[in-house]
Structure 1
Amino acid sequence: MTATAHPGETLWSRCGGCATLLYRKRLRRNLDVCPECGLHTRLAAPERVRQLVDPSSFQPLPDRAVEVDPIDFVDVLPYPHRLAAARIETGMPEAVLCGTATIGGFRCALAVMEFRFLGGSLGCAVGELITRTAERALDAGLPLILVTASGGARIQEGALSLMQMATVSQAIAALREAGSLTVSVLTDPTYGGVAASFATSTDLVLAESGARMGFAGPRVIRQVTGRDLPEGFQTAEFLLRHGQVDMVVPRHALRARLATLLATVGTARGTGRTVVPRSSAPADRAPDGAPAPALDAWETLRLARHPGRPTTLDYLEGAFDGFTELHGDRLGGDCPAVVGAVARLDGRHLIVIGHQKGHTTAELASRNFGMATPAGHRKALRLMRLAARLGLPVVTLVDTPGADPGIDAEEHGQAAAIAENILTLCALPTPVLAVVTGEGGSGGALALAVADRVLMLQYAVYSVISPEGCAAILWPGRPAAPQAARALRLTAPDLRRLGVVDDVVPEPAGSAAADPEATARAVRQAVLANLLPLLDVPAAALVQRRRQRFRRFGAARASIRVGVR
């Protein structure tokens, strides 16, 4: 049965994934996603715009595509004939649809590529239109969203097509320098020169479910290498596992997810700031005002390592007002021991980065016990720099026995990755607040803790080395670990007296593991009290004060003795 629903459209459609025969109206209602197998079929650019933006909000770019044939290219057909055929087939003048719109009420500039037009290839006209869209975003102070679908650079325009990779990229660079948010949405397929330029050089990279992305296509790779490709190669899920994208989003959730991200910059530069008074509760007192029990350092360490203590994901759920997790270092890895997110707190957006352990043996193992690999430190670095560009404060949650000490970590530059984080934090022109929530182990902890204010939970620890490691080096062996713990002065009261931490966050009776919800509330209060005053400090003064803070940890500070409790 083949009656038509729209001109040129059949009433029924067969899914290319599961071969199910689908009623076309039902498929359209499901945003052209197969309700049986979830296959995301390709969308025409106008339909993509209709699905993404608020109704009637899209305003096309007034600029028209200029027809070019720079090298008089002819294969089976002259290039102008191919252009004419593509225009008739798609009803579009070129392989991209550009304009401005609102998504969730937030204005943005938008460029959506059309794969039906010569494979969405990047030619001079396409590059010019996307560049003008980026320039419009820059002039108007708008975020830029790029929806990519392309086989790569347009062969028929020779080296001038290749130059469009740089043309668009320099426009993206100008937006980044201005602190404007840039987002790319990878759809199926995104390859070649588009993948190797603006599709992956934006601040955030989202992949629609089922999208494929890569520099070389699978057929080329097979021909060159003579090897079979792994299952799922270059798919959205593959890209997520290998740190290439921030998130994979099903089509039905794309508009809401983009609105959430646009809200980040929509409120980041708001002027309404309410300074919350510092808690009047003494730092060494429990939340109910009773004197906090004095614990031996070894007992404190055991509480800091308790598997029931809240993790970064727990704090994101309980201490903040919502969050969107971001993934990947864009270099090949997405370390599970480091979690990064855009979060909201008391009406303000910020970047939260923290170590992630787990509560069960399986969770701990899957998260590498909170020990960050170089990919984890580079993910954190990417998000720190993103926060600086967008003017968002950074909150870090430190809970790690130390950085990953494995062979792979060393081969991939663990030391340099930690060093780069520390160096970047020393000059980051946005407020940074660190909270040691559990273990603060050595350089792996410091890579997230070079901050304007450093807080520490009451039963957390922070040390140059683990007591076990210290005992193995300086004592007869591991049995001396409790003695080493006492000698290291690693508890919150000791470190506050040394000036390493600025304040101690009280824990509920029995420690954070006994009441994670109350702990999350205490962390929320402490973050607000310490972070909000920093928001009014000019960036140059923030950096100067932060550097002065760590300059003080020299010979004069080291000469201060910590009294025995």
Structure 2
Amino acid sequence: MRATTSDRAAWPVPPDEANTWVLCQRCRAVVYGPRLTRMAMVCPECGRHGALTAEQRVGLLADAGSVAPLVPPGPDPREDAADADPLRFVDSRPYPERLRAARSGTGMAEAVLCVRAAIDGHRVVIAAMDFRFLGGSLGAVVGELISQAAETALAERVPLLVVTASGGARMQEGAIALMQMAKTSVAMQRLDRAGILTISLITDPTFGGVAASFATLSDVIVAEPGARLGFAGPRVIEQTIKQRLPAGFQTAEFLLKKGFVDLVRPRAALRATLGRLLAAGRRPGPAGLAADADGGDPAVRDPRGLARRDSWQVVRLARRVERPTTLDYIGLMLDEFEELHGDRLGGDCASIVAGVGRMAGAPVVVIGHQKGHGAAELARRNFGMASPEGYRKAARVLRLAGKLGIPVLTLIDTPGAYPGVEAEERGQAVAIAENLRLLAGLPVPVVAVITGEGGSGGALALAMADEVLMLGNAVYSVITPEGCAAILWKDPGQAPAAASALRITARDLLELGVVDGVVPEPPGGAQADPPAMAEAVRRAVLLRFGALREQEPDRLVRGRQARFRAIGATAATAVGARG
């Protein structure tokens, strides 16, 4: 049914349960009010996500019966500042009059509702903004309430979820409102230092001082479809610098591609998504990721237990497009997984998959190269050759693992980092180097598994681990055999000879001490039986996590650094002795 007259209620006015009809502002469909309410204000015709009140938002996300209003410690700032007007501000109406009208019209004391709650059984503090109240603007009381919500999360050691809907800082409070950006940022930083998970749910719109403070400082940023997020709103941009904005600019989908948003989820999927993030973000207990490898260690640790192989043949096996990818292993090894996107600096990279999940019931971070199986996916994933944005995304998720105390599994399968001009212009070498430095001091267990090609620094950027494993048909090298042959033999056709000379097979690398163990592949290779291969990798990883989790963070880091410090030391000593 389409609207033909102008006397119908326009969305987003929430309908009551009478026989009202509501006009969708995007597709102009007329929707029966009670149906729209049941669909949480999502248009059944075009999927437009209409506005929700803060109370509706909390009711949508929280477990039934779990919500309790947050009572701030000490004097209630809503009472102390109920009629605060630091500037004695008057535009077309005095500011106190605007406040009274907002309170009367919304039934709220201010533009944010703060509660204790649970989502899928996981305790959380929620601060939900309401755009109806002076555009969800950030003023002194809002800043104080959000800061106190963060302090409650800190004191009770539970995650903080902020649901944003705001036009920015409240102009009627001038510089006092501006300072709330700093106040709320301090609160978020304290949660970072304490290792408390923070999540932002971005709803439409989120602009200005809110976007440039607590909304984008969370560990994970989830956005509703079509939600707009930015520092300068469209009207400000167009009026200030006279620029015409492209379609979709500042929307959640645009920001996901640009690396500023982790996930875009429809309203119906938000509760389940947040529940998975909260489950994965819990700090593991002493029994977390305990080894369940009843069959013993599937990894071979003595090179004499491995047959010598033709190096070039192994290279060709490692490159088989049918071999399981990172996403295949994730699907087979993990109980659940939420992929996170973006480097928060302006890009995302499909060649690297990173996210949080649960393995054997305990939280784990997984990061890996993703090649793909078909031609279309291989092209979209750039054949597993990551850009600087991919390594920076990995670094962001590694820092999250360190903050929350979650073990890290990396899965390596890449010919090498992308060698294009654009990658060099955006700092490929710096991105790889920063990952190596980060992994050198990451205070959580890290296990790396080379599942296919381990190509040069692009592989090492994810493989500086406490334990480095590789599959029986995998390879690991400073350069591709073709590249080595082209440089040293002056003939790419000498790649088989280069492969042999480089000693890149699993047995070679176990002998050299570069890897710690080799997980044999099923007959016919990993691609012949992906579930069996994944189970063997899972058992090997759990066994190592089980041992590593017993170590204190400082000892863990010292051991990892000593492991890499020792590689090549004997050869250097011998050269020195001859000198």
TM-score relative to the length of structure 2: 0.93
Whether 2:279 is the aligned partner of 1:279: answer no
Correspondence 1:464-543 to 2 at 5 A: 464-543=478-557
Name the counterpart of 2:70: 61
Name the counterpart of 2:159: 143
Structure 2: how far apart are the matches of 1:377 and 1:251?
A: 31
What SS does structure 1 have at the residue aligned with 2:511? helix
What SS does structure 1 have at the residue aligned with 2:418? coil
Name the counterpart of 2:31: 22
TM superposition shift of 1:56: 2.1
What SS does structure 2 have at the residue aligned with 1:459? coil
- Which of residues 245, 250, 254 in structure 1 aligns to 2:261? 245
Residues 125 and 159 of structure 2 are in contact (CA less than 8 Å); yes or no, is this contact kept in structure 1?
Answer: yes
The CA deviation string for residues 61-97 of structure 1, in whole angstroms up to 9 with x for no partner, is 2234222211111111111111111111111010000
TM superposition shift of 1:10: 6.6
Structure 2 vs 1, CA of residues 237 and 437 (structure 1 numbering), >3 Å: closer, same or farther? Answer: same
What SS does structure 2 have at the residue aligned with 1:448? helix
What SS does structure 1 have at the residue aligned with 2:264? strand
Structure 2 vs 1, CA of residues 459 and 343 (structure 1 numbering), >3 Å: closer, same or farther? Answer: same
Structure 2: how far apart are the matches of 1:536 and 1:292?
A: 30
TM superposition shift of 1:225: 3.6
Structure 1: how far apart are the matches of 2:357 and 2:126?
A: 24
The total of aligned residue pairs comes to 557
- Which of residues 233, 258, 282 in structure 1 aligns to 2:274? 258
Whether 2:386 is the aligned partner of 1:369: answer no
Correspondence 1:352-363 to 2 at 5 A: 352-363=366-377
Correspondence 1:101-116 to 2 at 5 A: 101-116=117-132
The CA deviation string for residues 313-363 of structure 1, in whole angstroms up to 9 with x for no partner, is 111111222211111101111100000011211111100000010111211
Residue type matched to 2:50 in 1? T
Structure 1: how far apart are the matches of 2:299 and 2:453?
A: 22
Whether 2:334 is the aligned partner of 1:327: answer no
TM superposition shift of 1:522: 1.6
Residues 245 and 330 of structure 1 are in contact (CA less than 8 Å); yes or no, is this contact kept in structure 2?
Answer: yes
Name the counterpart of 1:233: 249
Structure 2 vs 1, CA of residues 19 and 458 (structure 1 numbering), >3 Å: closer, same or farther? Answer: same
Residues 284 and 292 of structure 1 are in contact (CA less than 8 Å); yes or no, is this contact kept in structure 2?
Answer: no
Structure 2: how far apart are the matches of 1:187 and 1:221?
A: 20
Structure 1: how far apart are the matches of 2:63 and 2:297?
A: 46
TM superposition shift of 1:521: 1.6
TM superposition shift of 1:269: 3.2
Whether 2:326 is the aligned partner of 1:303: answer no
Residue type matched to 1:57 in 2? S
Structure 2: how far apart are the matches of 1:216 and 1:433?
A: 43
Name the counterpart of 1:82: 98
Structure 2 vs 1, CA of residues 5 and 200 (structure 1 numbering), >3 Å: closer, same or farther? Answer: closer
Structure 2: how far apart are the matches of 1:191 and 1:10?
A: 35
Structure 1: how far apart are the matches of 2:380 and 2:432?
A: 22
Name the counterpart of 1:563: none
- Which of residues 162, 176, 181 in structure 1 aligns to 2:178? 162
Unaligned runs of 5+ in 2: 1-6, 575-579
Name the counterpart of 2:406: 392
Identical columns (%): 57
Residues 106 and 266 of structure 1 are in contact (CA less than 8 Å); yes or no, is this contact kept in structure 2?
Answer: no
Structure 1: how far apart are the matches of 2:320 and 2:419?
A: 22
TM superposition shift of 1:499: 0.6
Unaligned runs of 5+ in 1: 286-290, 561-565
The CA deviation string for residues 505-542 of structure 1, in whole angstroms up to 9 with x for no partner, is 11111211222222112211111122221111110100
Name the counterpart of 1:133: 149
Name the counterpart of 1:41: 50
Correspondence 1:409-448 to 2 at 5 A: 409-448=423-462
Structure 1: how far apart are the matches of 2:282 and 2:488?
A: 54
User: RMSD over aligned Cα, in angstroms?
Assistant: 2.2
Task: Out of 379-388 and 2-11, give the one that drifted further.
Answer: 2-11
Structure 2 vs 1, CA of residues 388 and 196 (structure 1 numbering), >3 Å: closer, same or farther? Answer: same
Structure 2: how far apart are the matches of 1:417 and 1:5?
A: 48
Structure 1: how far apart are the matches of 2:171 and 2:537?
A: 56
Structure 1: how far apart are the matches of 2:19 and 2:52?
A: 16
Whether 2:455 is the aligned partner of 1:455: answer no
What SS does structure 2 have at the residue aligned with 1:109? strand
Task: Out of 548-557 and 480-489, give the one that drifted further.
Answer: 548-557
What SS does structure 2 have at the residue aligned with 1:152? coil
The CA deviation string for residues 465-511 of structure 1, in whole angstroms up to 9 with x for no partner, is 11111111100210111100000001111000111100001111121
Residue type matched to 1:500 in 2? V
Residues 457 and 505 of structure 1 are in contact (CA less than 8 Å); yes or no, is this contact kept in structure 2?
Answer: yes
Structure 1: how far apart are the matches of 2:514 and 2:151?
A: 46
Task: Out of 255-264 and 412-421, give the one that drifted further.
Answer: 255-264
What SS does structure 2 have at the residue aligned with 1:447? helix
TM superposition shift of 1:260: 1.1
Structure 2: how far apart are the matches of 1:57 and 1:105?
A: 9
Name the counterpart of 1:173: 189
Structure 2 vs 1, CA of residues 474 and 380 (structure 1 numbering), >3 Å: closer, same or farther? Answer: same
